Amino acid sequence: MDHRMESLRPSQSCKELLRKLDIDSEEGSGRRSVVAVRQRPLGWGHRSRFEVLQLLLKGGQKVSLVVKDFGTTEMRTPEAAPRYTRERSVYGRLLAGSGIDTPRYHGSLCNPAQSRYLLVLEYVAGERLHWRDAHHFELAAAWLGKMQALFSLYPEKLANGVPLVRHDARFFQVWAARAHATATRISTNLERRLANVFATYQGLIEDMAAGPPTLVHGGFRRRHVLISPGDDSVRVRTVDWGRAGLGSPLFDLASISEGCTRPTRERMFYAYRDVLVRRVAQPPDGWQMRRLLTCFRLHNTFATLAQLAAGPHAERAATRIAESAERLARQVREEAFDE
């Protein structure tokens, strides 16, 4: 952004947003008045819309922000309003000042009468995590270990009323029920095929819900991890905290390692575990970690099945998911036998 950028007339929502952030959108009315505005789309989101808002302030100061717009369509879904409230609370009350490298939270705008729900974050230059950079997956695993070690050591930080999703037994039972309903809708043969897998999953729920909970991202996938190269190092930053919860620290590691090769998963496992060993007095048990990772990977297949949209290719997609679920269920049974 430079002084030659086009000066655009801010929309009413933009004016409201700038006033909320203590930035005046009218020229000549204050030290921080905006003299030029540029907006462009940003591909951070999956369902919500992101835009970069570039501001040139009176006096030459430049400010780049990211505006997450949940949008009218997103806010009509039952889960959208809680996600907006949760994400705003996580950024503003949990992550602020924590030392965890996430985009800084600047504010929000909530106008239910106009279905306007906006979050304003620091703009972070970088690319989303990509398969071609296996080393970056290890960095993401190490970042995850650092974040979860912090909240494991200081659990009182989580006791501040932030509406986190609780990964208790009911949480896993609900996802199993949704996956079963989807399988039944698609095909009775699919439902019968997965009967043993559902039975195995039910036997794992107690283990997945057990143990002292910590902060989990809840949707720690490649699209939510930004890699920002620096002069001497690479920074990992995580966005989209609408599913943040209290649960097993391994829930996120299972998600981010999904689809990786076995050697990459092993390196991620050790990168994550090394951080915990350095920061937490009691090192985690390696066998139990691997077993729980398999359990959560099985959970992720059920969550994918549960959210499978109806359509001409639904049965083919569900069959692929069923094959993964059968393989993971067999693996977790073998791991239990090896105990």
Is residue 243's pLDDT more than 80? Answer: yes
Considering the chain, what is the average pLDDT of its residues?
82
CA dihedral (270, 272, 278, 281) positive or negative: negative
Is residue 215's pLDDT more than 70? Answer: yes
Instruction: Convert the pLDDT of each residue in 76-111 to its tens digit.
Output: 566 667 888 899 999 988 888 888 888 888 888 877
- Residue 295 pLDDT grade (very low, low, confident, very high; cuts 50, 70, 90): very high
SS3 per residue for 64-82: EEEEEECHHHHHCCCCHHH
Degrees (nearest 5) of the Cα angle 196, 202, 206? Answer: 150
Alpha carbon distance 329, 319 (integer Å): 15
Strand partners, 121: 66, 105
Lookup: tokens for 90: 């996580």
Average pLDDT over residues 259-273: 92
What pLDDT, on a 0 to 100 scale, did the predictor assign at position 48? 63
Instruction: Count CB-CB contacts under 10 A for residue 197.
Output: 23
Is residue 266's pLDDT more than 90? Answer: yes
What pLDDT, on a 0 to 100 scale, did the predictor assign at position 14? 64
pTM above 0.95, yes or no: no
The structural domains of the chain, ordered by start, are: 12-122 (3.30.200.20), 127-338 (3.90.1200.10)
Instruction: Convert the pLDDT of each residue in 115-174 to its tens digit.
Output: 677 888 888 888 888 888 889 999 999 999 999 888 888 888 887 788 999 999 999 999
Instruction: Count CB-CB contacts under 10 A for residue 131.
Output: 12
Instruction: Convert the pLDDT of each residue in 13-64 to its tens digit.
Output: 666 666 666 555 444 444 457 777 777 777 665 556 778 888 887 777 788 8
SS3 per residue for 265-333: HHHHHHHHHHHHHHHCCCCCCHHHHHHHHHHHHHHHHHHHHHCCCCCCCHHHHHHHHHHHHHHHHHHHH
% of the chain exceeding 70 in pLDDT: 81
Using CB atoms within 10 A of its CB, is residue 334 exposed (0-12), middle (13-18) or buried (19+)?
A: exposed
What pLDDT, on a 0 to 100 scale, did the predictor assign at position 2? 37
- Residue 296 pLDDT grade (very low, low, confident, very high; cuts 50, 70, 90): very high
3-class SS at 51? strand
